[in-house]
Amino acid sequence: MTETACAFGVKDAEELARTLLHPLTERWQHTAAVAVRAEQLAGTVDAADREILVAAAWLHDIGYATATHDSGFHPLDGARYLRKRGVSERLCSLVAHHSGARFVAEARGLTSELAEFPLEVSALSDALTYADQTVGPHGRPYSVEQRMAEVLDRHGPESPQAKAYSTRAPYLLSVAERVRRRFAQYSQR
């Protein structure tokens, strides 16, 4: 499931994210910091996947923009918006499934809709999730645990995020462990 190049480059991704998310100040700050974090983690993925990692980081939350709204579930809405623009299926899938979206999709009754996009389980998808889960609102660094608590607090105890917590949290913690291990190996080179 490797594409040697990202058909929608990093600059394209940054421009689109800026256009869609800049009016949403807090979301834009988060997104820009996630892209920086992804650049820091680029050594944990194959060289051929580094550009698509950073592009996906820029695009991961575009589904929050009004222009992309479809289902009301931002990973799915962002991926569908990108697909309509002719963006590679792999990049669309990374956006669709970032940060354990499948667990929240199940709680929202959107599992079959999310299945429009293939789930990639790889160092690349792990790095994207880790970048997102280690940056809080306004672009501040967070631990994965802080980020999970912030999401629950922001969305509330009856939210799909809260309903998915028991399955999503172990996934996010295992992703964090894998990325930290890869980063340590990369840093020792």
- Give pLDDT, residue 2: 42
Query: Do 85 and 75 contact (CB within 8 A), yes or no?
Result: no
| 140-174: b (≥16 Cβ within 10 Å) or e | eebebeebbeebeeeeeeebbbbbbbeebbeebee
Name the residue with tokens 């051929």.
48
Domains of the chain: 10-187 (1.10.3210)
Reduce the DSSP state of residue 58 to 3 states and report it. Answer: helix
**Looking at residue 7, what is its pLDDT?**
65
3-state secondary structure of 141: strand
pLDDT tens digits, residue range 59-80? 999 999 999 999 999 999 999 9
pLDDT at 189: 73
Give every residue of the chain whose pLDDT is below 50, as ranges: 1-6
pLDDT value at residue 4:
37
- Output the pLDDT for position 96: 99
Q: What is the pTM for the complete model shown?
A: 0.95
